[in-house]
Structure 1
Amino acid sequence: MPTAARLTRQYLRGLPAGCAPERLGAASALAGDIYGSAFLTRPVFFGREESRELGARLSHLYDLLLSLPHRLHGGDLRAFATALGWSPAQLDAALRADGVPRALPRSARADLYREADGFRLLEVNGGSPLGGWDIALLNRALLQEPYLASFADEHGLGFTDGIEVLLGLWQESFPALDVAAGPVVALLEWPGSYPAMERHLNRMAALLAAHGVDAVPCHLGQLEYRTDGVHVAGRRVDLVHRWFVVNDVLTGADAALPAPLTEAADRGTVCLFTPLENEVYGSKAALALLSDERDRSLFDRSERALIDGLLPWTRLVRDGRTEAAGERVDLLRYALAHREELVLKASSSHSGLDVLAGWETSAAQWAAAVRAAVDGPVILQRRVRPVPEDFPAPGGGTAEPTVLTWGVFLAGHGYGGTYLRGTTDLDTGVISSGMGGRLGTLFLVDDA
């Protein structure tokens, strides 16, 4: 049995009555805003070597995603994004007119379930607008519980500080920028989204201030473009951390706002972490292209093994034939016949939005949704069945099975931390705060 599993059993066996770390989470700075107010009733334990191995596998898979425009379209990113289902408005908002890809920071978060034989990738969120950078606040809050603090000390538990990871990514992405010297950083949201995100961005600013960074929460309409660079609140900005997404740009009259920022970044007058084009690689449709057997010849044996080991069967919804379970099938007929084993997802959605689980849907609703999705930016994906883990009932007491979504950060070429969502609804199609998911974190343990 892996060390982490043994440690979990030991933790649960020794759990004293009344020990309820979730109360500390609910009283922490993380409660509310984007995370909700419900927390898992214990931390998760994960081997340090396991984390390194998982980080390496995710890094290699991200390399494959970044290589797809070259493998499939001769390096033309606009052609690639068009094949993913991006609209002309999305293309114009995010990509260069000539289709040449920019050099991108290696920042992403993979969302995974853990099946009996290992992790399975649900989606990759590429770029900078990622929840979970501040999850170490929860680790520190949980360590205020005496039993957990003693347990962590006895077993040498540690955790990854996402703010330190983020600072390292900024430095790696922009070598000419001295992050240690205290740069001015704009934490930049979309005007319409800023009120909902303001508390979260202020918390991020306070965490960054502890590292000497002058971080300014703001929205895109507050930036000023001068001859010497980009300014906000009377300060010249060294780096912009983008929090808005490409779909925000398509919501109305503010669609022209990103262009001056993109132009300033392309000229080198400000560092942009990350360009909107990063979201091309976070499209679930890109995973469908990795999974599709028609392009198998573009990958060598080790690359195919990596794809098959991490990625469940995933396809764009198209009226045609494909491979499924080792057979050639009509995709639409297969989707209708195997509703209980499939999920329908919009390729650019996030936070569990626009996800339809076949087993939670009537046959008639499922058939209508599948037919409506044909030729759109929508994917079908094999249902992944996560193995439940035991968590104490809220307030302490009998353990109850809980399934987890693992949000694992890729920082550069390796593991960059994890935040978790869990639910006792073992058949749920989505685990999110808006659908009853509880926020959690993990501690790292030596594997031996």
Structure 2
Amino acid sequence: MSAAARITRQYLAGLPAGCAPERSCENSPLAGDIYGSAFLTRPVFLGRGESNALGARLSALYDLLLTLPDRLHDGDLRAFATALGWTPEQISAALRADGRPRRLPRSARADLYRSQDGFRLLELNGGSPLGGWDISLLNRALLQEPYIASFVDEHRLESTDGIAVLTTLWRESFPSFDSATRPVVALLEWPGSYPVMETHLRRMATLLAAHGVEAVPCHLGQLEYCADGVHVGRRRIDLVHRWFVINDVATAEDAALLAPLSEAADRDLVSLFTPLENEVYGSKAALALLSDDRHRSLFDRAELDVIDGLLPWTRLVRDEKVEAAGEHVDLLRYALAHRDDLVLKASSSHSGLDVLAGWQTSADAWAAAVRAAVDGPVILQRRVRPVPEDFPAPGGGPPVPAVLTWGVFLAGHGYGGAYLRGTTALDSGVISSGAGGRLGTVFLAEDG
């Protein structure tokens, strides 16, 4: 029995009547304000050894993604971005004109299901605009419940502080960044998204202050570019943490708005965590290229083991022959015939948006969606069936099964914490907050 299964069984066996940790989360001054009122009814557990092994596997897969421009396009990053479906405006905004790659911080969040065969990757979001950095607020709120506090102490469980992980990434990525000097960080959004995100960014600023960082929520239109660096109001910015995404760049005007920041970062006038270039490797289309059987000869046996061990069958939607289930088939016919086993996803979407589960879609609607996706930035991915876990029923009663999406952070070369979204709708195509998913968090247990 795994450490996670053992600890979960012990937790449920000792659970007292009336223990409702989700209420502690709802009533937390910070957690409730940020995450609302939909929380899992218990913490989730993971063995430390399993977390380390998962972090190492994700790091190895991320390394392979970083090599794709060299393996597929002789190092031409622009050709690689074009193959992913990026527009000329996005390529102009994100990549250097001379095609030279930037040094990219190792920051990503993998969304996974735990299946009968172990963790399987649904997507890998690269860069800095990642939800969940502040998830340790839930760990703190859960510890307000006496049973959980005593259980965590008895079993020597630990949690990961995502804000501490983030500031460590900043220091490792930029040696000049020193929290001892109280640096100023811009939490930078796109102008159109800023009104929606402002409250969240201000909460992030509150959490960062405890780590010696002065954080300024702002949007791209508020930056000023001076001879000595980048400013917001009268404050010179040491580091910019980017919250907007490549899909925010839709026009030449958008690209022009971003250009001065990219130029300032390239001239070392400000540290940029992370450049939009990072999102090249966080595209679902990049996973499709990694999964494509036509590229298997480019990888050695150990590399193929990494790919096959994490990544389900994933293909760009094209009118062509592909390998599927050991056969050479017409992709479109295969997609129509295997609707119950496939998911259609936009390659640059996030938060469960633009995802169509075949088993929840009529045959006619599925066929229309597949045909409309041909040659677009859209992927087909084989369905992963998550193994349910038991959770206390809200308000008491026997435990009920729920399935989880694990959002696991890759920080540098290892595990950087996790946050969860769960639902009792076991055949759900998407587990997201917008689709009624409940949020949760992880405590790590010693193995053995």
Task: Please give the TM-score of this superposition, normalised by the length of structure 1.
Answer: 0.98
Using the TM superposition, give the Cα deviation of residue 146 of structure 1 relative to its aligned residue in structure 2, in angstroms: 0.3
Q: What amino acid sits opposite 2:25 in the alignment?
A: G
Q: Distance in 1 between matches of 2:338 and 2:18?
A: 45
Alpha-carbon displacement from aligned partner over 1:110-144 (angstroms, at most 9, x marks no partner): 00000011000000000000010001110000000
AA aligned to 1:23 is R
1:297 aligns with 2:311: no
1:397, CA displacement in angstroms? 2.5
Residues 40-67 of structure 1, C-alpha deviations (whole Å, 9 max, x = no match): 0000010111100000000000000011
Report whether the alignment pairs 1:232 with 2:218: no
Q: Tell whether the 8 Å contact from 2:190 to 2:220 is kept in structure 1 after alignment.
A: yes
The equivalent residue for 1:151 is: 151
Which residue of 2 is the match for residue 261 of structure 1? 261
Q: Alpha carbon RMSD of aligned pairs, Å?
A: 1.1
**Which range moved further: 367-376 or 85-94?**
85-94
Within a 5 Å distance, the mapping from 1:317-328 to structure 2 comes to 317-328=317-328
Match in the other structure for 1:30: 31
1:386-441 per-residue CA deviation (whole Å, 9 max, x = no partner) reads 00000011233321100000000000000000000000000011011110000000
Residue equivalent to 1:357: 357
Give SS of 2:131's match: coil
Match in the other structure for 1:206: 206
Amino acid in structure 2 at the alignment position of 1:9: R
Residue 281 and residue 30 in structure 1: after superposition, are their counterparts in 2 closer, same or farther (change >3 A)?
same
Kindly indicate whether the alpha-carbon contact (under 8 Å) linking 1:317 and 1:370 is maintained by their aligned counterparts in 2.
Answer: yes
Cα shift readout 1:14-35 (whole Å, capped 9, x = no counterpart): 11111000111112212355x4
Q: Kindly provide the CA deviation profile for residues 86-130 of structure 1, in whole angstroms up to 9, marking residues without a partner as x.
A: 111111111112222111000000000000110000000000000
Please give the alpha-carbon distance, in whole angstroms, between the structure 2 residues aligned to 1:27 and 1:374. 47
The aligned residue for residue 376 of structure 1 is: 376
> Map of 1:429-448 to 2, 5 A cutoff?
429-448=429-448
Determine helix, strand or coil for the equivalent of 2:344: strand
- Is the partner of 1:31 in helix, strand or coil? helix
In structure 2, what is the equivalent of residue 316 of structure 1?
Answer: 316
Partner SS, residue 375 of structure 1: coil
**Aligned letter for 1:316?**
L
- Match of residue 182 from structure 2: 182
Aligned position for 1:165: 165
CA contact (8 A) 2:24 2:141 kept: yes
Which segments of 5 or more consecutive residues in structure 2 lack a partner in the other structure? none
8 Å contact kept, 1:402–1:426: yes
User: Bigger shift: 309-318 or 81-90?
Assistant: 81-90
Q: Which moved more, 1:396-405 or 1:249-258?
A: 249-258
> Given residue 259 of structure 2, which amino acid in structure 1 is its aligned partner?
A
Between stretches 92-101 and 12-21, larger displacement belongs to 92-101
Report the secondary structure of 2:180's partner residue: helix
The offset of 1:181, in angstroms, is 2.3
Contact 1:36–1:434 (8 Å) recurs in 2: no
Contact 2:408-2:418 within 8 A present in 1 as well: yes
Deviations 1:253-311 (A, max 9, x none): 54422110000000000000000111111100000001000000110000001100100
| Secondary structure class of the residue paired with 2:401 | strand
Q: Partner residue of 2:397? A: 397
Establish whether residue 56 from structure 1 lines up as the match of residue 56 from structure 2: yes
1-structure distance, mates of 2:252, 2:243: 18
Does the CA-based 8 Å contact 1:39-1:440 persist in structure 2? yes
- SS of 1:168 mapped into structure 2: helix
Distance apart, 1:362 and its partner CA: 0.3
Return the alpha-carbon distance in structure 2 between the equivalents of residues 423 and 353 of structure 1.
17
Counterpart position of 1:126: 126
Whole-angstrom distance in 2 between the partners of 1:423 and 1:348: 24
Distance in 2 (alpha carbons) for counterparts of 1:178 and 1:199: 26
Residue 285 of structure 1: SS of its match in structure 2?
helix
Q: Give, as a single letter, the amino acid of the residue that structure 2 aligns with 1:220.
A: L
CA distance in 2, matches of 1:398, 1:256: 58
Contact in 1 for aligned 2:26/2:36 (Cα 8 Å): no
1-structure distance, mates of 2:258, 2:9: 51
Structure 2 equivalent of residue 69 of structure 1 = 69
Letter in 1 for 2:241: H
Deviation of 1:233 (Å):
2.5
Specify the SS of the correspondent of 2:336: helix
Query: How many angstroms does 1:251 deviate by?
Result: 6.6
Distance in 2 (alpha carbons) for counterparts of 1:433 and 1:251: 30
Q: CA deviation at 1:36?
A: 4.1
Partner SS for 2:221: helix
Separation in 2 of the partners of 1:252 and 1:32? 37
Alignment of 1:218-229 (within 5 A): 218-229=218-229
- After TM superposition, give the deviation of residue 211 of structure 1 in Å: 1.1
**1:19 and 1:395 in contact (8 A); partners too:** no
* Runs of 4+, deviation exceeding 6 Å: none
TM-score (norm 2): 0.98
- Return the alpha-carbon distance in structure 2 between the equivalents of residues 141 and 396 of structure 1: 20
Q: Is the 8 A contact 2:89 2:252 kept in 1?
A: no
Take 1:202 and 1:30, find their aligned partners in 2: how far apart are those partners? 13
